[in-house]
Amino acid sequence: MTFSLKNFERWALYYMPTGHRHVIVIGTSLGGLAALRTVLSAFPQGLHATVLVVMHVGNQRSLLPELLAPHC
């Protein structure tokens, strides 16, 4: 199937979930790591939301998943 807006609309109507979804999006730079840890640690266990974290870290390998794992 080639991409077209019409094909995407058909796909979205069939496959996309219906109803409301809760999403929390957090954006920060590498300097905001301590604040990010604090925010993530404050979320209640069993939070019914998807949390997306966007962090500018440059082009080096990031240890972000390992650093944040104890706080999530």
pLDDT tens-digit readout, 53-71:
888 877 877 777 787 788 6
pTM above 0.85, yes or no: no
pLDDT at 27: 92
What tokens were used for 35? 């604040």
User: Is the residue at 6 inside a domain?
Assistant: no
Give CA–CA dist 2/19, Å, rounded: 28
pLDDT at 24: 93
pLDDT under 70: residue ranges of the chain: 1-3, 71-72
pLDDT at 23: 92
Give residue 29's domain range: 20-71
User: Is the residue at 55 inside a domain?
Assistant: yes
Count: domains in the chain: 1
Give CA–CA dist 35/26, Å, rounded: 11
